[in-house]
Structure 1
Amino acid sequence: MTRSSNAGDGQAPDGAPVPDIDVVCLGESMVTFLPRLPGRLADVPSFDRAIGGAESNVACTLARTGHTTRWISRVGTDGFGDHLLGAIADCGVDVRHVRRDPLRPTGVYFRTAGDRATGTHEVAYYRAGSAASAMTAADLDPAALYGGRILHLSGITAALSADCLGLLTELTTRRPGRPLLSFDVNYRPGLWQDTARARVLLDLARGADLVFVGDDEARDAWGLHGPRAIREALPEPHTLVVKQGKAGATVFRRTREPGGCCDDATGTATFVPALDVDLVAATGAGDAFAAGFLSATLRGLPDRARLRHGHLWAAAALTVPGDLATPPSRPYADRLAALDDPAWAGLHLAPGWTDAATSGHRADEEVSTH
């Protein structure tokens, strides 16, 4: 079976076999401990166990809406590794290519219940020397790694060790026959000794086909200000998505497409405002946005719809306390993504909104008047 397609949309080149996996995600996942009560880590008496990891979050979120996904990583031969593999597999993700390391532990971390953007938020990582930090290109099965329509990576992996940086450098080197390479910059200041070292993320992003980056990340890591400056620094990716926080997001594409607003220096540019949501926790929203955008990309939807699906899936994560949220069903998300601009701007999404399609209470029937 073959598919004739545009490889820039993450599909197989003309005459190539159709991959049996939609998205392959590579990166570290950790066991996450979420406090049962608000307060400082020093004061919280008990925690609930969950999972957290940018790439596995993307794989799980996509799998929950029917996409075929694979997660590749390393975990320890400990109970935490067992938990990660079981929990991620339960989401419908293929975990058969995750290696077990008898010498290194599975990473864990603890965080407070507050919003990560506030000064009171605390995160305590225990990932130094983890099994995932020992990943190298030599350890990976190329058939499993390159067997999807999209290979999704993030800059977090590059910060884990010299071996992991070498792996990301190898994977972002352009070569014939690779799948669409998606790269989420995911700049985490705590993982980099200084911003000078974080400049390597810019080099890695230049080797990708599709890049996600927050304008705040680009400012803090690279000294770039605004979507246009980011695009000028990253002309190589076919598609660049600049997330602009509560304002919205802009997608740049090198080729002109109908409906785009033409930018003579960077190709087409399309902006879609973010949604008004009742925030519960911001953790995982960026991963959910990437998953929503990738889902719409796999379906060949136009840029405006890709951004809207990213915002909708991010809104699902913003309205739950953990890293992972179940996005709205595909028909429900499609209906919301097709709203006209005034109706989209008037949407207000509260916790539980993704269940509205089955409960008979739809978010698009609750357009506010602000």
Structure 2
Amino acid sequence: MRSAWLPAEGPVVCVGETMAALTPAAPQPLETVENLRLSVAGAESNVAMYLADLGVPVSWISSLGADPFGRRVRAVLAAAGVDVGAVRHDPRRRTGLLVKEPGPDGTRVHYYRAGSAASAMGPDVLDDPRVAAASLVHLTGVTAALSPSCRALVERALATPPDARPYAISFDVNHRPALWPDGTAATVLRELADRADLAFVGLDEAQGLWGADLEPADVRRLLPRPRLLVVKDGGRAVTVFGAERTWTVPALPVDVVEPVGAGDAFAAGFLAGLSRDGDVERALRLGHITAASALAVTGDHGPLPDRARIEHLIAHAWTRPARTGPPS
């Protein structure tokens, strides 16, 4: 695949941890619920599965425990059409686990990932030949927070200047406060995001990290270097800042079941759209459509409309698409 925003043809590679996930079968407190559903959850693998759904060749690179949860995670990703040939199984460490706790104020997530197999990943992960053959490598701030070796992995990926990279790098800030107990998140995540070719950040994330009064244009001033900066304003709109142009496309109205995973779905849709022809506005629309599928389910990965329906929505769901900046 090739577009104006990607320096080479090739698949996408997503790198990061995926956990087994337990969710109450009924919206009840964990103390009283009798049945839990088992699924998988991970920011980078969510992106990978949605890319596969959208027909983009994609590999997921990670480390899992040599345990039933690890085998389940690998099988789910493989069944979704994601290449898992580079996934390692660590016999000394376990697969990470998360448990969702629904409540009247939203869903809380409890993580059990300290010392997991993925937390032991390091920069050598990038030596896999799949990375060298990629058009784009997708990373998130979650990986940078897991351990010093994982942070070194992300830093090595971003150390090469953009003009010298054989592939583009996208970086989703994906701030998880529970993973940053030492208060370093704001500085580290800003530095990492500003070295990516494409960066994603929620406006609420940016406000929590860098200033409560920030507007999208302020975020661009904080992150001036990405060729494309994607600022997501909840269920309202997404704005993309390029070097000489800005695009804003409102979100579709959606009955939200659970917001977890919607940001990853949006990133996958946007990247898939961008890879096709480089049309940023169409990519934004596809991102919104993909996000809507995640918002409509309790898991992280929901079913997409068929291809014909997606094309119809891209063409007709936005009667007056918002666009700012000079014409191309």
TM over 0.5: yes
- Measure, in 2, the Cα distance between the counterparts of 1:336 and 1:69: 24
Q: How many pairs does the alignment contain? A: 319
Counterparts of residues 45-64 of structure 1 (less than 5 Å): 45-64=34-53
Please report how far the alpha carbon of residue 242 of structure 1 lies from its aligned counterpart in structure 2 after TM superposition.
0.2
Please report how far the alpha carbon of residue 191 of structure 1 lies from its aligned counterpart in structure 2 after TM superposition.
1.1
Q: Is 1:183 matched with 2:160?
A: no
Q: Secondary structure at the match of 1:55?
A: helix
Q: Is 1:165 matched with 2:151?
A: yes
Q: Secondary structure at the match of 2:274?
A: helix
Q: Is 1:104 matched with 2:100?
A: no
Q: Is 1:122 matched with 2:108?
A: yes
- Measure, in 2, the Cα distance between the counterparts of 1:248 and 1:295: 19
Q: Is 1:138 matched with 2:127?
A: no
- Measure, in 2, the Cα distance between the counterparts of 1:341 and 1:67: 24
Q: Which residue of structure 1 aligns with residue 79 of structure 2?
A: 90
Q: Is 1:244 matched with 2:230?
A: no
**1:272 pairs with 234, 249, 262, which one?**
249
Moved more, 70-79 or 132-141: 132-141
Q: Are 2:274 and 2:283, in contact at CA under 8 Å, matched by a contact in 1?
A: yes
Please report how far the alpha carbon of residue 194 of structure 1 lies from its aligned counterpart in structure 2 after TM superposition.
4.8
**CA displacement 1:50-75 (0-9 Å, x = unmatched):** 01000001101111222111000000
Q: Which residue of structure 2 aligns with residue 227 of structure 1?
A: 216
Q: Which residue of structure 1 aligns with residue 308 of structure 2?
A: 331
Q: Is 1:68 matched with 2:60?
A: no
**TM norm structure 1:** 0.82
The letter for the 1-side match of 2:172 is: D
Please report how far the alpha carbon of residue 124 of structure 1 lies from its aligned counterpart in structure 2 after TM superposition.
1.4
Please report how far the alpha carbon of residue 79 of structure 1 lies from its aligned counterpart in structure 2 after TM superposition.
0.8
Please report how far the alpha carbon of residue 140 of structure 1 lies from its aligned counterpart in structure 2 after TM superposition.
4.2
- Measure, in 2, the Cα distance between the counterparts of 1:128 and 1:28: 12
Q: Is 1:203 matched with 2:188?
A: no
**CA displacement 1:328-352 (0-9 Å, x = unmatched):** 233321221112743779xxxxxxx
Return 5+ residue gaps in structure 2 as ranges. Answer: 323-328
- Measure, in 2, the Cα distance between the counterparts of 1:217 and 1:174: 26
Q: Which residue of structure 1 aligns with residue 21 of structure 2?
A: 32
* RMSD of aligned Cα (Å): 1.9
Moved more, 333-342 or 51-60: 333-342
TM-aligned CA distance change 1:30 to 1:195, over 3 Å: same
Q: Are 1:65 and 1:329, in contact at CA under 8 Å, matched by a contact in 2?
A: no
Q: Secondary structure at the match of 2:137?
A: strand
- Measure, in 2, the Cα distance between the counterparts of 1:44 and 1:152: 36
- Measure, in 2, the Cα distance between the counterparts of 1:324 and 1:204: 27
**CA displacement 1:305-357 (0-9 Å, x = unmatched):** 11111111001111112111122233321221112743779xxxxxxxxxxxx
**CA displacement 1:141-161 (0-9 Å, x = unmatched):** 342223221110110000100
The letter for the 2-side match of 1:102 is: P
- Measure, in 2, the Cα distance between the counterparts of 1:189 and 1:120: 16
The letter for the 1-side match of 2:291 is: A
Please report how far the alpha carbon of residue 195 of structure 1 lies from its aligned counterpart in structure 2 after TM superposition.
4.1
Query: Which has the higher relative contact order, 1 or 2, with Cα contacts under 8 A spaced 6 or more apart?
Result: 2
- Measure, in 2, the Cα distance between the counterparts of 1:40 and 1:147: 46
The letter for the 1-side match of 2:168 is: L
Q: Are 1:61 and 1:326, in contact at CA under 8 Å, matched by a contact in 2?
A: no
Q: Secondary structure at the match of 1:203?
A: helix
**2:181 pairs with 193, 200, 207, which one?**
193
The letter for the 2-side match of 1:189 is: P
Q: Are 2:5 and 2:278, in contact at CA under 8 Å, matched by a contact in 1?
A: no
- Measure, in 2, the Cα distance between the counterparts of 1:295 and 1:233: 26
- Measure, in 1, the Cα distance between the counterparts of 2:132 and 2:178: 30
- Measure, in 2, the Cα distance between the counterparts of 1:287 and 1:160: 18
Q: Which residue of structure 2 aligns with residue 321 of structure 1?
A: 298
TM-aligned CA distance change 1:59 to 1:341, over 3 Å: closer
Indicate the structure (1 or 2) with the bigger Cα radius of gyration.
1
Q: Is 1:288 matched with 2:265?
A: yes
Return 5+ residue gaps in structure 1 as ranges. Answer: 13-17, 255-266, 346-370
Q: Are 2:126 and 2:153, in contact at CA under 8 Å, matched by a contact in 1?
A: no
